């Protein structure tokens, strides 16, 4: 517990740095220095910086999948689920200096060459969209309408994250949460 192996230390350190300063703003040298490993060790575990980024995105995606499942499996009402998820976002942003969505931020500096990264971003976004659609389907009988409302929740969530980052404030999240609760009532 005190001393995980090199791969885990690299992944954890890189995650923090990528999140704080963006994928393109952090170099391998800084990562290995802060993780306390040698460069050779890094390239033994990850063939490239890009693959490290993919591992990071995948790890976060797995965690968020768990969160979605836990919320959907809870006994909260749909409105409460959505509200809890937006509150979770607010806590996340507050704790992380309003750095916004790691997926969107990474996508903003990835060209079409990084297709592995772009694929993971889309995977996560579609998964989040599906999560909101499922919430919506719990309180809206009409399936087509539920899908449309779920998509609206998704767009609200994304906009709240983006603008909280740009403006370094929490009101977009609160606005989006209120709108989401209204949409589900």
Q: Is 135:72 a contact under the CB 8 Å cutoff?
A: yes
- 119 near DNA, judged by CB under 7 A: no
Per-position x/- string for 30-69, each x denoting binding to DNA as judged by CB under 7 A, each - no binding? x-----xxxxxx-xxx-xxxx-------------------
**Among positions 12, 22, 28, 148, the unique one binding DNA when judged by CB under 7 A:** 28
- 12 near DNA, judged by CB under 7 A: no
Range list of H helices, 48-139:
49-72, 78-95, 102-107, 115-139
- 125 near a copy of itself, judged by CB under 8 A: yes
- 156 near a copy of itself, judged by CB under 8 A: yes
- 148 near a copy of itself, judged by CB under 8 A: yes
Label residues 85-99 b or e (16+ Cβ within 10 Å = b): bbeebbebbeeeebb
Per-position x/- string for 64-103, each x denoting binding to a copy of itself as judged by CB under 8 A, each - no binding? ------------------------------------xx-x
Q: Is 139:79 a contact under the CB 8 Å cutoff?
A: yes
30 binds, among a copy of itself, DNA, none (CB under 5 to 8 A by kind): DNA
CA angle 86, 155, 129 (to 5 degrees): 80
Tokens of 86: 């937006």
- 29 near DNA, judged by CB under 7 A: yes
111 binds, among a copy of itself, DNA, none (CB under 5 to 8 A by kind): a copy of itself
Nearby residues of 14 by Cβ (< 8 Å), 6 or more positions away? 26, 31, 35, 52, 53, 56
Residue with tokens 């959505």: 82
**Among positions 21, 39, 63, 88, the unique one binding a copy of itself when judged by CB under 8 A:** 21
**Among positions 12, 130, 152, 181, the unique one binding a copy of itself when judged by CB under 8 A:** 152
């Amino acid at each position: 517990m005190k001393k995980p192996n090199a791969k885990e230390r690299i992944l954890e350190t890189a995650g923090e740095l990528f999140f704080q300063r963006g994928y393109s703003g952090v170099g391998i040298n800084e990562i290995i220095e802060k993780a306390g490993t040698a460069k050779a060790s890094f390239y033994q575990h990850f063939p490239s910086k890009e693959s490290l980024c993919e591992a990071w995105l995948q790890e976060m995606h797995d965690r968020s999948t768990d969160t979605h499942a836990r919320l959907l499996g809870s006994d909260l009402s749909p409105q409460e689920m959505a509200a809890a998820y937006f509150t979770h976002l607010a806590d996340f942003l507050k704790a992380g200096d309003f750095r916004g969505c790691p997926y969107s931020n990474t996508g903003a500096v990835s060209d079409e060459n990084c297709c592995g990264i772009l694929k993971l971003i889309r995977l996560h976004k579609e998964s989040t969209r599906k999560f909101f659609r499922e919430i919506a389907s719990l309180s809206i009988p009409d399936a087509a309408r539920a899908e449309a409302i779920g998509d609206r929740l998704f767009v609200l969530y994304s906009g709240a994250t983006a603008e909280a980052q740009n403006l370094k404030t929490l009101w977009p999240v609160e606005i989006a949460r209120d709108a989401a609760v209204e949409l589900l009532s």
